[in-house]
Structure 1
């Protein structure tokens, strides 16, 4: 298992984003299966929320809400994420790959960040989500 987290700084041509990745010593099928469980979805979206197909909305118990923009099994899930109905959405892109046999890299990139979103908070949030997903793989 290895962790890597990067926060990209904004300049004139890019917007700030948070990128967190983790290599899980399990096959892609196992990691995907965990993501498709209630616990896997809640690790990403929040308690009470479930992942769905492209175009489906989701709501977590804490008021976070969004909808699935892209859903490609075992490759990518992209979703809009916002703190509540009255805030502007930011974009979360989860990518899966298999760098070696029986290993899966999971990368989360959170972009379109509003100025009031703390990149350090988001980095910790996504690191915790990946840690929960990894622990559920074993």
Structure 2
């Protein structure tokens, strides 16, 4: 699916969505997200998730701003590979699958037409892998 952005006039491709059910309760997954390792899994080395309105920057040049922060439920942040790139949006949601499992969902949207969707999908899968490994 493609859409035209009114702000830039560029065509945007549909979002990349990665989802997995983790065998851990929401609180456990959330607590890992709030650690240095959890933040770096999502944002990149040296970056830390903060509260709504806080900026973040990784050692490899990725940067953004936290746009929404709802403990145990959702974090949404802008994300771009470098300062000159147009920011995209990443929405992370935690949904209880039952008392002992969590659906972990990442939706990366507002992507430009040249976005490497396969690379992004792999990147978010690796982030979930890393977060899951820290839940033990």
Q: Structure 1 length normalisation: TM-score? A: 0.90
1:38 aligned residue: 36
1:50-89 Cα shifts (integer Å, max 9, x gaps): 0000000000010000000000000100000001111100
Matched, 1:19 2:11: no
Q: How far off is 1:11 after superposition?
A: 6.3
SS of equivalent to 1:69: strand
What are the within-5 Å matches in structure 2 for residues 1-138 of structure 1? 9-10=1-2, 15-138=13-136
Which 4+ stretches in 1 moved above 4 angstroms? Answer: none
Q: How far off is 1:10 after superposition?
A: 2.8
1:105-128 Cα shifts (integer Å, max 9, x gaps): 110000000122100000000000
The runs of 5 or more residues in structure 1 that have no matched partner are: 1-8
Q: 2:13 touches 2:113 (CA, 8 Å); kept in 1?
A: no
The runs of 5 or more residues in structure 2 that have no matched partner are: 5-11
Q: Structure 2 length normalisation: TM-score? A: 0.91
